[in-house]
Amino acid sequence: MSTGSLVASAGWPMTVASVVALLAYAATAVRAQVIAGAAALPASAPTAAAPRGLEGGLLMLGWLAQGVAIAVHAAGLDLDPPGTRFGFAPALSLTVWLVLAVYAIESRVLPLPALQRVLALLGGASVALALAFPGELRAHAGSPWAPIHWVLGIASYGLFGVAVLHAALLRKAEQRLRLKPGAGARALPPQNAHGVFGLPLLRLEKLTFRFVEAGFVVLSATIVLGWWFATPWRWDHKAIFSLLSWAVFAGLLVGRHSRGWRGRQATRWLYVGAGLLLLAYVGSRFVLEVLLQRSALG
């Protein structure tokens, strides 16, 4: 284990907040599944829309509790001495929390109830991982740019995470258009002549690439800052996978604007880029912390 760092265990404040978040996310997922099953039956359709408010409230409760757990976790308030923790699970938990934050804002103008179950499952999984692998306590980096670099990196994870969710929803909607009436209807989101949830598919596609473009800008700033304050620059797994993901996203945007890439081709590029970006920090830290069980800076 490296000097100046120690493996941290979750204290009771983080544990309590995490348990509340897990219960809220579990209740959200169960209710969403029950409502989806009831909505598939014509006779129960009028009653299926009634409990939506409770479902959204449970998801919001889980999001708030997860936010408290993340704040306690990041600040190390339940440790002596307090400090900032680093690890693959905290980074993943914060990423999912940001995705949920974007969903909460977006749902005010674009309700996407079919995503609630998926988001609840992702939220619960990320909370459980952060509770099981709370990371390590480490002194703050010497460069004042390091915290900004870390925040921008997590923000890019969140933006691309939202883009992936929208792309998956778009892919499901496109698959439904190719299906015969009634075939696989329960597995796909509700759709009418105007698209998915009344939103035209072209608009959903445009929204997806808005998140890709925003994530690309933030990722570019993250890489530049990392190169700026890192002396010397290290060609480690994090740097290599980050640059590879940046190149894939750049290729996707160039292909989108110059050749009009859409559908499966654009979605595949997005998935590959997001996968490489996930490997850059979360994947590398997972290998170090869980598989190799050792500490590493960054």
250-268: per-residue pLDDT in tens?
999 999 999 888 888 899 9
Nearest to 215 by CA among 98, 123, 71, 126: 98
Residues 283 and 261 in one domain: yes
Residues 256 and 209 sit within 8 Å (Cβ to Cβ): yes
What integer pLDDT is reported at residue 298 of this predicted model?
47
Q: Residue 2: inside a domain, yes or no?
A: no
**Domain boundary pick from 116, 138, 160:** 138
CA atoms within 13 A on the CB side of 27: 18
pLDDT tens digit sequence for 43-77 = 444 444 444 567 788 999 999 999 999 888 777 66
The DSSP symbol for 180 reads P
pLDDT tens digit sequence for 176-226 = 776 655 544 444 455 544 455 556 778 888 889 999 999 999 999 999 888
**Domain boundary pick from 106, 138, 170:** 138
Q: Residue 211: inside a domain, yes or no?
A: yes
What integer pLDDT is reported at residue 252 of this predicted model?
96
- Domain extent, residue 111, equals 10-138
What integer pLDDT is reported at residue 192 of this predicted model?
47
Residues 39 and 106 in one domain: yes
Cα 292 off chain centre by: 25
Nearest to 163 by CA among 67, 253, 57: 253
What does the chain come to in residues?
298
Confidence of residue 82 (pLDDT cuts 50, 70, 90): low
Residues 165 and 116 in one domain: no
Q: Residue 3: inside a domain, yes or no?
A: no
CA–CA dist 100, 193 (Å, integer): 28
Residues 132 and 164 in one domain: no
Residues 107 and 177 in one domain: no
